[in-house]
C-alpha cells in the first residue's frame, strides 16, 4: 500500500468530509474548534481521542446535527449538507430532512432507553412512528439485530432487567435499525462496569468488520488501536496529530502532545 499518513487513495470513496469546522457555544469565551478538517472513507473507522473537554462530544454532535456550526462545511457522500454561519449559536438540533437525519446514528455514554418499553419496543419505535414502516417487517429486522448483538433472548425484557452492557447493545440496535450511513459512538463504554466493556466493544468490532462507517470517541486505548483505520488526537480545539496508520500512532506518536496523552494511560 502506498497510502501516506494523511491522504486518501484516489479510489477510496469519502463518506464524510469535514472542512474548516468552527464551533462556538453562545455562552463561552473561546471557540471549541477554530477550523478543523478531516475525512472518513466509506466503510472505515475514525477514532477520535483526546483529553476531557477537548471537544470530542461536540464534534460528534455537530456532525449528527444536534448542534449548529459557526463556520466550515460538513459533506456527506460528496454533498455539502451543512454550512456554518457566524452568529448561528443557539444550541439545539439543526434543520435537516428526515432522510438526512437517519444517515447519522448516534449512541451516547448513558443509555437513554425508554424505561416502560421492552427491548423490542425501544428498537422498533422510531422506524414505526417516524418512518412508518410495517410492524412485522420492522420487528423481524429488530430480532435479527438483537441476534447480531447476542441478545436474541432478551427481546421482551424491560431496560431495568438488563445489565449496562446489554442496554448499550440495545442502544446500538436502536441506531442500526435506521440504517445509518455513519454511526457515531461517544464513549459508549465509559459508564459500564469493567466486566461489561468487552461485550459491547466486541459488537463494535463486528460492525467494523461488516463495513459500517464509524466515528468513535473512546478512552479504551487498546480497543482504539485494534479498531481504528484512522486516528485523530483532539486537544485545545485543534487536531494535534492525525494518522491513517493507527498502529503507528499508538506505538510511534510524532508529537509531544500525543506522547503525553498516550503516556497518561500507562
Q: Which residues bind ligand ADP (CB under 6 A)?
A: 25, 27-28, 32, 50, 52-58, 91
Q: How far is the CB of 182 from ligand ADP (least distance, A)?
A: 18
Q: How far is the CB of 117 from ligand ADP (least distance, A)?
A: 28
Site size for Mg ion (CB under 5 A):
2
> Which is closer to ligand ADP, CB of 22 or CB of 154?
22
Q: Which does 127 bind (CB under 5 to 8 A by kind): ligand ADP, Mg ion, none?
A: none
Q: Is 102 in the site for Mg ion (CB under 5 A)?
A: no
> Which is closer to ligand ADP, CB of 23 or CB of 154?
23
- Closest by alpha carbon to 190, among 228, 217, 230? 217
3 state DSSP class of 96: coil
Q: Which does 166 bind (CB under 5 to 8 A by kind): Mg ion, ligand ADP, none?
A: none
Q: Which does 4 bind (CB under 5 to 8 A by kind): Mg ion, ligand ADP, none?
A: none
> Which is closer to ligand ADP, CB of 154 or CB of 230?
230
User: If residue 16 lies in a helix (H) or strand (E), which one and from where to where?
Assistant: strand 14-23
**Dist CA 159 CA 169 (whole Å):** 11
Task: Burial-class residue 109 by CB neighbours within 10 Å (0-12, 13-18, 19+).
Answer: middle
Q: How far is the CB of 58 from Mg ion (least distance, A)?
A: 8
3 state DSSP class of 64: coil
Sequence-distant contacts of 110-115: CB under 8 A, at least 24 apart: 110/191, 111/159, 111/164, 111/167, 111/168, 111/170, 111/171, 112/171, 113/159, 113/167, 113/170, 113/171, 113/174, 114/159, 115/158, 115/159, 115/160
> Which is closer to ligand ADP, CB of 52 or CB of 97?
52
Residues 27-56 interacting with Mg ion (rule: CB under 5 A): 56
Q: Is 57 in the site for Mg ion (CB under 5 A)?
A: yes
- Residues near Mg ion (CB under 5 A) are 56-57
Amino acid at each position: 500500500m502506498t497510502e501516506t499518513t494523511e491522504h486518501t487513495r484516489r479510489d477510496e470513496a469519502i463518506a464524510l468530509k469535514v472542512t474548516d469546522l468552527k464551533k462556538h457555544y453562545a455562552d463561552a469565551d473561546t471557540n471549541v474548534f477554530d477550523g478543523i478538517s478531516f475525512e472518513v472513507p466509506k466503510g472505515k473507522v475514525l477514532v477520535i481521542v483526546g483529553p476531557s473537554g477537548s471537544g470530542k462530544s461536540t464534534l460528534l454532535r455537530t456532525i449528527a446535527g444536534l448542534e449548529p456550526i459557526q463556520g466550515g462545511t460538513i459533506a456527506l457522500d460528496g454533498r455539502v449538507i451543512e454550512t456554518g454561519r457566524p452568529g448561528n449559536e443557539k444550541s439545539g438540533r439543526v434543520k435537516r430532512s428526515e432522510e438526512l437525519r437517519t444517515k447519522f446514528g448516534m449512541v451516547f455514554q448513558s443509555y437513554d432507553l425508554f424505561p416502560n418499553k421492552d427491548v423490542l419496543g425501544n428498537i422498533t419505535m422510531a422506524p414505526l412512528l417516524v418512518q412508518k414502516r410495517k410492524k412485522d417487517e420492522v420487528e423481524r429486522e429488530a430480532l435479527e439485530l438483537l441476534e447480531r448483538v447476542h441478545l436474541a433472548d432478551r427481546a421482551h425484557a424491560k431496560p431495568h432487567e438488563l445489565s449496562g452492557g446489554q442496554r448499550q447493545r440495545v442502544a446500538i440496535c436502536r441506531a442500526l435499525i435506521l440504517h445509518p450511513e455513519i454511526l457515531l459512538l461517544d464513549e459508549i463504554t465509559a459508564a459500564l462496569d469493567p466486566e461489561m466493556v468487552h461485550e459491547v466493544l466486541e459488537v463494535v468490532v463486528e460492525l467494523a468488520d461488516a463495513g459500517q462507517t464509524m466515528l468513535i470517541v473512546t478512552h479504551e486505548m487498546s480497543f482504539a488501536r485494534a479498531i481504528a483505520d484512522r486516528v485523530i488526537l483532539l486537544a485545545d480545539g485543534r487536531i494535534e496529530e492525525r494518522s491513517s496508520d493507527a498502529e503507528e500512532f499508538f506505538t510511534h506518536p510524532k508529537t509531544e502532545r500525543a506522547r503525553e496523552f498516550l503516556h497518561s494511560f500507562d
